[in-house]
């Protein structure tokens, strides 16, 4: 039931450090999301806010809840729920960001304004048969052109 004496302080201090790291990177991610020039650069800041700003403080909150005696009997429920939320965010956050980025690029909803190079757009616009490994694409073109 109870954590061994002395170990509860270790849990609480480590958890508070993780919550502090999470809060700081949360603020950094918010500033980055506000200041970055276009959608694809803002994705970088948003995923920092997802993993470092949500996953890490959730694990820290679980450690704090496991070590804090004053929460009573339900602190193990709080610790377990925090760990489950953290694992869900670890799996779902990158998946959602990838789906959103792919949809934004395919539908051209987000304009790439300060752009250096966009190979994905060139590939999707003109599939040229003269490139390396062109046998498959040539065969596809021939098949498509037959009827």
Partner 1 sequence: MTVSESEVITFIIITLPIYMAAFTLYAVRALKGPTIPDTVLAIDAMTYDLAAFLVVLAIFFRSPILIPTAIVLALWVYALDIYVAKYLESKEMGE
Q: 1, 4, 14, 70: which one contacts partner 1 (CB under 8 A)?
A: 70
- Annotate 17-65 with three-state secondary structure: HHHHHHHHHHHHHHHHHHHCCCHHHHHHHHHHHHHHHHHHHHHHHHHHH
Residue found by looking up tokens 């949360």 in the block: 26
DSSP-assigned letter for residue 6: T
DSSP-assigned letter for residue 130: T
| Site stretch for partner 1 (CB under 8 A), options 65-73, 115-123, 126-134, 137-145 | 65-73
- Interface positions with partner 1 (CB under 8 A): 5-6, 8-9, 12, 16, 19-20, 22-24, 26-27, 29-31, 33-34, 39, 42-43, 45-46, 49-50, 53-54, 57-58, 61-62, 64-65, 67-72, 74, 77-78, 81-82, 84-85, 88-89, 92-93, 95-97, 99-104, 106-107, 109-111
């Amino acid at each position: 039931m109870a954590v061994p004496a002395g170990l509860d302080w270790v849990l609480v201090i480590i958890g508070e450090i993780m919550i502090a790291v999470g809060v700081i990177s949360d603020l950094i991610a918010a500033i980055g999301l506000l200041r970055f020039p276009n959608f694809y650069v803002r994705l970088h800041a948003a995923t920092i806010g997802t993993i470092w700003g949500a996953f890490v403080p959730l694990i820290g909150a679980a450690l704090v809840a496991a070590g804090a005696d004053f929460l009573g009997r339900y602190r193990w429920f709080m610790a377990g729920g925090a760990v489950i939320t953290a694992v869900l965010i670890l799996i779902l956050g990158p998946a959602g960001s990838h789906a959103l980025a792919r949809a934004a690029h395919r539908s051209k909803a987000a304009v790439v304004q300060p752009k250096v190079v966009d190979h994905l757009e060139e590939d999707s616009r003109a599939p040229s048969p003269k490139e390396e490994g062109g046998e498959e694409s040539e065969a596809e073109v021939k098949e498509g052109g037959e009827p």
